[in-house]
Amino acid sequence: MKTNPLIHHVLLAVASTGLSLAQAPSAPPRGPQPPNAQQQPPHGQPLQRTAMRQRPSHRPMAPVTRPARPSDPLPGLSADLLLAFSDGFEEFTKEETADGGLGPIFNQSSCVTCHLQGGTGGASDITVTRFGRVERGLFDSLDSLGGSLLQALSIDPAAREFVPREANIVSHRQTTPLFGLGLVEAIPEATILAGVRSGKPDGVKGKAHVVTDVVSGQPMVGRFGWKAQQATLLAFSADAYVNEMGVTNRFFPTENAPNGKADVLAAFDKVADPEDSIDPATGKADIDHSADFMRFLAPVRPLPLSDSANAGKTVFQSTGCAVCHTPRMFTGTNEIPALNQKAVDLYSDLLLHEMGILGDGIVQGDAGGREFRTAPLWGARVSAPYLHDGRAPTLDAAIRAHDGEGAASKIRYTKLSVQQRQQLLDFINTL
């Protein structure tokens, strides 16, 4: 098998430097920052005002001593990191306002609106819309018309965005859960790249989605999002702020124009960019606080195995599910003890796989229209409905919808006895 040169470059860098992707609480950016002041607009346009943003209250948080539950921080965090988690939780649950930079077009006005199922930071059945155009086999994200992500809401009806008639591909994607993402971020790139190998059964391949991380400017292995389109939690946070809430920031300082119309943007964008700026008191912006919340959010704790679930764990292996849904990885060496050399039972290889007719047709970076990242199964019992667009109300329906590289495992599942299928479902429902 030929090695992607970019993947080879990243692997060599990791091997030679012992690079760890995990980060401490988001640090203040280096170099000069955009001024947090009123900006002079182009001639003939009204003066923009400075964003009025509510900052976290910086309240200390006591260690959790009761039995663990979703939305808890990772165990073993220091007082400083618990404070970072607490500030992040407060920011994550804050309602954005137009005075603070919400819009002009957006999808929701707070992070928690979409991330609430099973606890703060979970999934939901709320979907966003993506669109594009395929012509002669080539995908066009229709950037000039506001693609590929539709912002369905607006601060004024006159700024509303719509799917343009030029689009012939329209897809819906539901919210992914955030539990345990700091552990996922702390998995070394070399571990993920080791999963890109030949000789897997059933024609399963998998590829790492190497992206340019907007934070560092470096090529890194993507691991967050349906197409593994983000490599770090800070980039994931910054992307969500501008694209889901319309809040510009130091990594994404440009507003989305409604369907690409600059005149409409100029008429309704009254807040100077970037709207989310560094707070001199903490050295952090709100995207940093949200990244801290995700980084220190604990995974959902698995349930004890019943006899049926224990038998289902074996069925999970025999049907080939574990070929892509890798049960366990480990974090690398990390200066934060809660992230240092920990087992990560995420049930995903974090690779892209060709999923046949299950694909949504949307291309993002090097992730093709029929490719998706293997969805982690930890927390699956609190994240229904399933699949990228929520079409599967049950785990049984989700398995039966598998195609492409997942087809062989799907066929084995359909040939199991009724009891064996129930055992497998009972096992996944403990995760």
Would you say residue 179 lies in a domain? Answer: no
- If one counts the domains in the chain, the total is 1
Q: What span, in angstroms and rounded, lies between the C-alpha atoms of 82 and 33?
A: 28
Give the predicted TM-score (pTM) of the model.
0.89
Would you say residue 353 lies in a domain? Answer: yes
Q: For residue 11, which of 235, 223, 219, 217 has the smallest C-alpha distance?
A: 219
Would you say residue 387 lies in a domain? Answer: yes
pLDDT for the residue 48: 87
The CATH number given to whatever domain includes residue 371 is 1.10.760.10
Would you say residue 112 lies in a domain? Answer: no
Geometric angle at alpha carbon 339, from 322 and 211, rounded to 5°: 65
Q: What six digits make up the tokens of 336? A: 């934060």
pLDDT for the residue 18: 37
Q: For residue 291, which of 276, 275, 269 has the smallest C-alpha distance?
A: 276
Would you say residue 174 lies in a domain? Answer: no
Q: What six digits make up the tokens of 79? A: 């007082």
Would you say residue 221 lies in a domain? Answer: no
169 forms beta bridges with 132
The letter for the amino acid at 218 is Q
Q: What span, in angstroms and rounded, lies between the C-alpha atoms of 36 and 279?
A: 10
Q: Whats the size of the chain, residue-wise?
A: 431
Would you say residue 364 lies in a domain? Answer: yes
DSSP structure string for 170-206: EEEEEPPP-TTHHHHHTS-HHHHHTT--S--GGG---
Q: For residue 255, which of 274, 238, 236 has the smallest C-alpha distance?
A: 274
Kindly give the confidence (pLDDT) of every residue in the chain, 431 residues in length, as a single tens digit, with 9 standing for 90 and above: 444 444 444 333 433 333 333 444 544 443 334 444 444 555 555 578 999 998 998 888 888 888 888 899 999 999 999 999 999 999 999 999 999 999 999 999 999 999 999 999 999 999 999 999 999 999 999 999 999 999 999 999 999 999 999 999 999 999 999 999 999 999 999 999 999 987 899 999 999 999 999 999 999 999 999 999 999 999 999 999 999 999 999 999 999 999 999 999 999 999 999 999 999 999 999 999 999 999 999 999 999 999 999 999 999 999 999 999 999 999 999 999 999 999 999 999 999 999 999 999 999 999 999 999 999 999 999 999 999 999 999 999 999 999 999 999 999 999 999 999 999 999 999 99
| Alpha-carbon separation of residue 349 from 112, 274, 281, 292 (angstroms) | 27, 36, 40, 24
Would you say residue 45 lies in a domain? Answer: no
| Residue 217 exposed, middle or buried by CB count within 10 Å (0-12, 13-18, 19+) | exposed
Three-class SS state of 234: helix
Domain of 359?
307-428
